[in-house]
Amino acid sequence: MLSFFPDSPLVEFTILLLVSLTIPPLFERLRLPGLVGLLVAGIILGNDGLQLLNKDSETMKLLSDVGKIYLMFVAGLEIDLAEFRQKKNRSLGFGLATFAFPLLVGIAIAQGFNYGWNASVLIGSLIASHTLLGFPIVNRLGVSNQESVIVTIGATIFTDIAALLVLAICVSIHAGDFSTLTLTAQLLGLGIYAALVLFGVDCAGKEYFRRTGDEESNQFLFVLFVVFLASVGAQLINVDKIVGAFLAGLAVNDVVGRSPVEEKMEFVGSTLFIPFFFVSMGLLLDIPVFIDTIRFNFAFPLAMLAGLFVSKFLATLATKILYGYSWDETLTMWSLSLPQVAATLAAALAGVQAGLIPQEVFNTIIVLMFVTSLLGPLLTERFARKLPIATTGVQTSEDWVWREQVEEALQQETVNSPFEKTRRNRVTVVVSVCNPVTERYLMEMGALLARRESGMVVPLTIVQAHVHMDEPELSVSIQRQEKLLKKAQHYGQEFEIRANPLLRIDDDIAEGITRTAREQKANLIVMGWSETTTALRSRLFGNLINNVVWSAHCPVVVTQLLDEPTNLRRILVPVKNLTIQSVRAIRFSQFFAATHNCSVTYLHVCEARTAKEQIHAFEQEIEQVLKQGNLNINYRIKTISHDQTAEVIIRAARSFDLVVLRSLRRRTAGGLVVSDVTTEVINSLACSLILFGEPHS
């Protein structure tokens, strides 16, 4: 169809970009997963549809392979190893159960339909793993810190690795003659290979990151090289490349941490390659065979669906009996472990390409993916809302309290310092000034925050360095920045605060700000808002605000002020759930309110069907956190039950002078970027705004 298109890989690439851009948002508006939309698009555009994309073309094969590798890499990268370590024994227990039960049931079903033993084991392993599509839901409900949820997340490590290892062994057996010797050699090779990837990449990565410092572009290329090197290495030992990609994700998990490099890796994958992979999955679906499978062999997909649901339930029931979980916790674990997307699809494709399982089995896996990706999140939504909201577990010693930071800084001072007395209660606020229009408000904000603790403000300007320091442009920039600093010093006198202006020449503006803040032992950085925060380029390569937040040693306050800070007396602070990070944002709002007697409303938007007991318990938690702050301010706690969080916050903000938000991003388990409530609120606010960001948050 449409033969007038030139025969060029650019055409296929352009079509894939258009599909990735338009289809997921449309399906999400219909309350359907975006991944399902990509599969549907692949079916429509494939050989049995419009024939715009060819599954056998070299372009599609390459992009599909890259997307499959990237998907498994991100799956390993997104696993929170810290949470897994906390509950590793229970995670391994549930992981073993939720892998073994479906594996045995799947083998029995496949044997009942006359598949060979090798194919039966692979079919059983396909339903033994799971994809955490429901994690964004439990995170939104504020129950992601519940033990049952953490255990389910940890179990993902076991099920994914085990399923991929079973795939590797089955494909290896299918490729040659089966014997105990070859199986032992394969397992030994897998063990050596896994150790080399997990420990070798971890050590090499930490050393490389230590030597390269802040060179994010080289670090990004290093991680990308490691992923594909591990995939090639897996193929050298007759193991599927997705095994290497997943192990590489686990290996660099600790190396990249929650850093800008991880963000860029996930962004590139979720924006380009992973959507391409799911479109290619739709291309592989043979519609005539699929229809024949439903019409004449419907018993097999139905048996697999029933076996999946029953076996996953038996696994969670055994875990309930073993560890004493409640029914709400058990059903939440069951719903989270149902979706079959990432590892399942990738392993099924590998099995088909190796000739181990027929097209009918792949079509059955597509049916499983459709059903479980729809029902899994819906069941999670229903059961997880009945879980009690996790308490913060935050002790006063862990809170971000200004006086404690000052005391810690004081211990680092020389005892005989002539400024010992004046620094005993001093707070240092670095104020980045670069715009004469916003300079006054920024200086007033810094003065308010520092003056309460007899502190000081450091007005800071950064001049971009040139190769030649005698460049006329550099001299002009320095003169312009000196004028800003002179005006900042004048504002310091007006606001009755000690100001110590600094001008710095640096190759990178963000690094200049954060390095100066560290040198000055600052407790806080205050910046103005950047209009390019949501631009595509800034999402790819980072912008000034993101880079400062990522690399700063202290909290960063990004302001968009429409009035003088002293006139901002009605403050709104949305509180999603109580974590250490959100408590620190609450502490900041308390401190700012105490500087000029403001009133603060802490707004919690919960799900429409949240029980009154849960609402009351959450409000008590906030009350306890506020009392621990030891700051006497006028506040109230307000809870609104509504499913559209951003809409409620935007409507409520009309009655306030200032909104304080936390810097937060969210992704789906499949890697596709979804809209963030914070971003939606920022784009619609008509009042002043403070975005409170923490380093590595």
DSSP labels, 416-440 = T-TTTTTTTT--EEEEE---TTTHH
Stretch 26-52: mean pLDDT? 77
pLDDT digits (tens, 9 = 90+) for 648-667: 899 899 889 999 988 754 43
Q: Which residue has the higher pLDDT, 611 or 107?
A: 107
pLDDT at 177: 56
Q: Are strands 498-499 and 570-574 parallel, antiparallel or unpaired?
A: unpaired
Per-residue pLDDT band for 572 (boundaries 50, 70, 90) equals very high
Angle CA 386–388–391, to nearest 5: 160
| 401, pLDDT greater than 60 | no
* Residue 355: pLDDT over 50: yes
Which pLDDT score, from 0 to 100, does residue 682 have?
Answer: 80
For residue 324, the one-letter residue type is: G
Q: How confident is the model at residue 420 (pLDDT cuts 50, 70, 90)?
A: very low
Using pLDDT thresholds of 50, 70 and 90, give the confidence band for residue 668. very low
- Decide which of 388 and 491 is more confident: 491
Q: What is the pLDDT of residue 7?
A: 66
Contact 79, 157 (CB under 8 A): yes
The span from the CA of 374 to the CA of 368, in Å, is: 10
Q: Residues 504-515: pLDDT tens digits?
A: 888 888 888 989
pLDDT: which is higher, 49 or 573: 573
pLDDT at residue 388 in the model: 67
Angle separating helix axes 472-494 and 439-451, nearest 10 degrees: 50
Q: Cβ of 188: how many Cβ atoms within 10 Å?
A: 10
Distance CA 35, CA 668 (A): 10
Q: Supply the pLDDT for residue 140.
A: 61
Confidence band (pLDDT; 50, 70, 90) for 422?
very low
What pLDDT score was predicted for residue 658?
A: 92
**pLDDT score of 399 more than 60:** no
* Nearest-angstrom CA–CA distance, 318 and 680: 42
**More reliable by pLDDT, 174 or 315:** 315
> Could you give the domains of the chain?
9-384 (1.20.1530.20), 403-561 (3.40.50.620), 562-697 (3.40.50.620)
Q: What is the pLDDT of residue 389?
A: 57
Q: Report the pLDDT averaged over residues 173-189.
A: 70
82 confidence band (pLDDT: 50, 70, 90): low
When pLDDT is averaged across residues 631-658 and rounded to a whole number, the result is: 87
Which region among 25-34, 96-105, 175-184, 323-332 has the lowest average model confidence (pLDDT)? 175-184
Give me the chain's average pLDDT, please. Answer: 77
Give the mean pLDDT of 192-203.
82
Residues 433 and 502: their CA atoms lie apart, in Å, by: 10
Number of H helices, E strands in the chain: 30, 11
Tell me 500's DSSP state: -
Inform me whether the pLDDT recorded for 616 exceeds 90. no
Q: Tell which wins on pLDDT, 550 or 625.
A: 625
Q: What is the pLDDT of residue 114?
A: 83
Can you give the pLDDT at residue 662?
A: 81
Are the CB atoms for 118 and 356 separated by under 8 Å?
Answer: yes
Both tokens assigned to 378 = 């819906």
What is the rounded distance in angstroms from the CA atom of residue 693 to the CA atom of residue 549? 6
Q: What is the pLDDT of residues 133-168, one digit of tens each?
A: 676 567 666 676 677 887 887 787 678 778 877 877
For residue 416, the model assigns a pLDDT of 37
User: 399-413, 460-474, 634-648: which has the minimum mean pLDDT?
Assistant: 399-413
What is the pLDDT, as a whole number, of residue 539?
A: 38
Contacts of 47 (CB under 8 A, 6+ apart): 54, 55, 283
Angle between helices 299-323 and 327-336 (to 10 degrees): 140
Picking from 568, 459, 474, the residue whose alpha carbon sits closest to that of residue 522 is: 459
Q: Within 10 A of 348 (CB to CB), how many other CB atoms are there?
A: 26
Residues in contact with 34: Cβ distance below 8 Å, sequence separation at least 6, in sequence order: 23, 24, 25, 27, 28, 668, 670, 672, 674
Q: What is the pLDDT of residue 424?
A: 43
pLDDT tops 60 at residue 208: yes
What pLDDT is stored for residue 316 in this prediction?
Answer: 92
Q: What is the pLDDT of residue 413?
A: 35
pLDDT value of position 136: 57
> Amino acid identity of 141?
L
Contacts with 226 (C-beta within 8 Å, 6 or more apart), sequence order: 201, 204, 205, 248, 251, 252
Looking at residue 310, its pLDDT comes to 93
* Percent of the chain with pLDDT strictly greater than 90: 6
Residue at token pair 């029995």:
108
